[in-house]
Amino acid sequence: MKILKDKVAKLSFVALLITMTAAMFYTPTASAHGEKSQAAFMRMRTIHWFDLNWSKEEVPVNDTMTISGKFFVFSGWPETVDKPEISFLNIGIPGPVFIRAGSWIGGQLVPRSVSLELGETYEFKVLLKARRPGDWHVHTMLNVKGGGPIIGPGKWVTVTGSMGSFVNPVTTLTGETIDLETYNLSNTYFWHAAWYAVGLIWVAYWARKPLFIPRSIAVEAGKADSLITPADKKVTLAFAVGTIAVIAATMASTNEKFPITTPLQAGLLRGIKSIQLPVPTVAVKVEDATYRVPGRAMQMTLTITNNGDSPVRLGEFNTAGVRFLDAAVAQDETGYPDDLLAEEGLTVSDNSAIAPGQSRTVQVTASDAAWEVYRLADLIYDPDSRFAGLLFFYDAAGNRQLVTIDAPLIPTFI
């Protein structure tokens, strides 16, 4: 019986080892990202992306595309999220299907973390080089230390061609041109295989001995010291000394072969230039705001005052990357993602032009399935149920003004 239990334990261990090894090589295809699972308040009250442009919807391997636009760092940043004092402009994609060839904020190259100010608007651009064929959901994204990734709007981009033709040439500081896609790849394979083999030998050595049940019985019987023999100690010492010796030798060899190196740059860039938008001449006060659960619609009572010289009309409400438009005032001509664009999703009780010096209280409704599809309605279950967004007003000449709003949101179920 003891021998049978020991064999069962060994077979179970081997099966577990095989399963874990197979899992290491299983790489399922990723589709869209999990922005829907990110808390609604995070998407509404942190980074507001607007004027976004994906330069191409189809890109051959080795060709480039750019994602550009602006983002507003919301002044009412939630207390539960660390401020963007250490941030990194990134792109959300399912793995290395593109490589980032360059990133800019305010016209400044930003290859590392930056410090951003609340209440400021920044212009950005990211240059991407296509690497792997397929249909990929490409997002804007800002990583914030302590706050995690804040994901922006995403658009489907098709990469055509063959991954085998991809090249990524760079010139080193010593003048040598190398292809980062294949550079020293055989050496990488060798050391992965070598250390994997060492690990398997180590596991095999201990697996040949009695495993779980016999060892448990020995420990309970007070014979734990007998489980480790002098030979086991010598083998363990040999593994440890051998590992250190191999690491030391290969490190010395590498330093001799590559005497000129520079460390990874990890400093923080400060003083990033923001956009100085014109001071809005339209003032907006949110009297109340409710979310009607059965109708998937947010209703706001706004008091709008026009302090400018030209009549204005409300044309767009933008929150969490979803754009609600009044088609009679504003239309999208940028190819914005369809699932994030409600072209007729904004209605105003009286959207006639507000004359200079005039003040008007109106009922504004932003309705679309995106409230549920993108789980923005989950905001009503948050302990701090507040919404935020951008309002865009237009005059007769097409000039646009941006006004931010922030207020509590009350759910209604009738």
Other CB atoms within 10 Å distance of the CB of residue 290: 16
Beta strands in 106-256 (DSSP E): 108-109, 121-130, 134-144, 148-160, 169-171, 177-179
- Among 122, 143, 173, identify where a domain stops: 173
- What is the C-alpha to C-alpha distance for residues 186 and 282, in angstroms, rounded to an integer? 63
Between the CA atoms of 212, 218, 223 and 227, what dihedral angle is there, to the nearest 10 degrees? -30
Q: Residue 289: name the closest of 383, 386, 402, 413 by CA.
A: 386
For residue 319, the domain's CATH number is 2.60.40.1580
Could you tell me if 351 and 403 lie in one domain? yes
What is the tens place of the pLDDT at every residue in 339-376? Answer: 999 999 999 999 999 999 999 999 999 999 999 999 98
pLDDT in tens, the chain (414 residues): 545 455 555 555 555 556 666 555 544 444 455 677 788 889 999 999 999 999 999 999 999 999 999 999 999 999 889 999 999 999 999 999 999 999 999 999 999 999 999 999 999 999 999 999 999 999 999 999 998 899 999 999 999 999 999 999 999 888 999 999 999 999 999 999 999 999 999 999 888 877 777 778 877 887 777 777 889 899 999 999 999 999 999 999 999 998 888 888 888 999 999 999 889 999 999 999 999 888 889 999 999 999 999 999 999 999 999 999 999 999 998 899 999 999 999 999 999 999 999 999 999 999 999 999 999 888 888 887 889 999 999 999 999 999 999 999 998 887
381 within a domain of the structure (yes/no): yes
**Contact at 8 Å (CB) between 139 and 153?**
yes
Could you give the count of Cα atoms lying within 13 Å of 135 in the half-sphere of its Cβ? Answer: 4
Distance of alpha carbon 214 from its chain centroid, rounded? 49
Cβ-based burial of 214 (10 A; exposed 0-12, middle 13-18, buried ≥19): middle
Claim to verify: residue 215 and residue 314 sit in the same structural domain = no
Token look-up 């060839």 returns 101
Q: In what order do the strands lie in the sheet with 359-367?
A: 346-348, 359-367, 297-306, 282-292, 410-412
Strand partners, 76: none
- Identity of residue 399: N
Q: Is residue 276 in some structural domain? A: no
Do 248 and 349 sit in the same domain of this protein?
A: no
- Is the CB of residue 327 less than 8 Å from the CB of residue 351? no
Asked whether residue 327 is domain-assigned, the answer is yes
Residue that terminates a domain, selected from 223, 240, 257: 257
Domain count, the chain: 3
Query: Is 132 part of a structural domain of the chain?
Result: yes
- Of the candidates 392, 126, 409, 142, which has an alpha carbon nearest to the alpha carbon of residue 286? 409
Please check whether residue 386 is in contact with residue 300, taking contact to mean a CB–CB distance below 8 angstroms: no
Does one domain contain both 57 and 106? yes
Domain containing residue 88: CATH number? 2.60.120.570
Rounded Cα distance, 359 and 307, in Å: 9
Residue 21: what pLDDT? 61
Residue 206: the pLDDT is: 84
What's the CA angle centered on 374, arms 369 and 379, to 5 degrees?
100
**263 in a domain, yes or no?**
no
Instruction: Specify whether 59 is located in the same domain as 163.
Output: yes
CA angle, 365 then 370 then 373, to 5°:
145
Query: In this structure, are residues 395 and 310 in contact, taking their beta carbons and an 8 Å threshold?
Result: yes
d(CA 299, CA 292) in angstroms, rounded, equals 7
Element (H, E) at 2: helix 2-24
The answer to whether the beta carbons of residues 135 and 158 sit under 8 Å apart is yes
Give the domain extent around 406.
282-412
Cβ atoms of 307 and 280 closer than 8 Å: no
Is there a single domain that holds both residue 164 and residue 64?
Answer: yes
Q: How far apart are CA 20 and CA 25, in angstroms?
A: 9
Asked if 57 and 139 sit in the same domain, the reply is: yes
Residues 225 and 294 in one domain: no
Residues 353 and 396 in one domain: yes
* 303, 359 Cβ separation under 8 angstroms: yes
Q: Which residues does 223 contact at the CB level (< 8 Å), separation at least 6?
A: none
* Same-domain pairing of 155 and 212: no
Same domain, 117 and 247: no
CA separation, residue 412 to residues 86, 296, 298, 349, 384 (Å) = 39, 10, 10, 20, 16
- Sheet strand arrangement including 312-319: 341-342, 322-325, 312-319, 386-395, 400-408
How many CA atoms lie within 13 Å of 242's alpha carbon, on the beta-carbon side? 11
Residue found by looking up tokens 């495993």 in the block: 211
Domain boundary among 207, 223, 257: 257
Is 185 within a domain? no
Domain with residue 20: its CATH number is 1.10.287.710
Residue type, 112: R
**Tens of pLDDT, residues 183-211:** 999 999 999 999 999 999 999 988 887 77
79 and 56 together in one domain: yes
Residue 266 lies in a domain: no
Residue 182 domain flag: no
